[in-house]
Amino acid sequence: MTARKLSISVPPEVEETIKAAAAEEGKPVSAWLAEAAVEKARIAALHAAGRAAARELVAEYESEHGKLPEESRQRAREFLLEAGLLDDEPWRAAG
């Protein structure tokens, strides 16, 4: 695999955290950061797929039964926020 250089800037405390975590796993910092980035991207993709599936389910429900009650929407928002699957601001802007 060809590796490419990438320059990043982080606060000193983040640098120390990264170096310590890489050392704990016995990996070079660059390898540790690459793995962390891949994992972050994988999780973001899963969350995006889950949000898309949820929107599809709501649309299907609403096409058959009418608009989902606001109380149910609010409970769903609260659950997703508590589960860490939803960022409050984009949801407010969208809905």
pTM across the whole model? 0.68
pLDDT in tens, 52-70: 888 898 899 999 999 989 9
* Predicted pLDDT of residue 2: 86
- Would you say residue 36 has pLDDT above 90? yes
What mean pLDDT is predicted for residues 40-61?
89
What mean pLDDT is predicted for residues 8-21?
96
3-state SS, 35-65, equals HHHHHHHHHHHHHHHHHHHHHHHHHHHHHHH
* Predicted pLDDT of residue 54: 84
From CA 63, how far away is CA 10, in angstroms rounded? 48
Token output for 72 = 């149910």
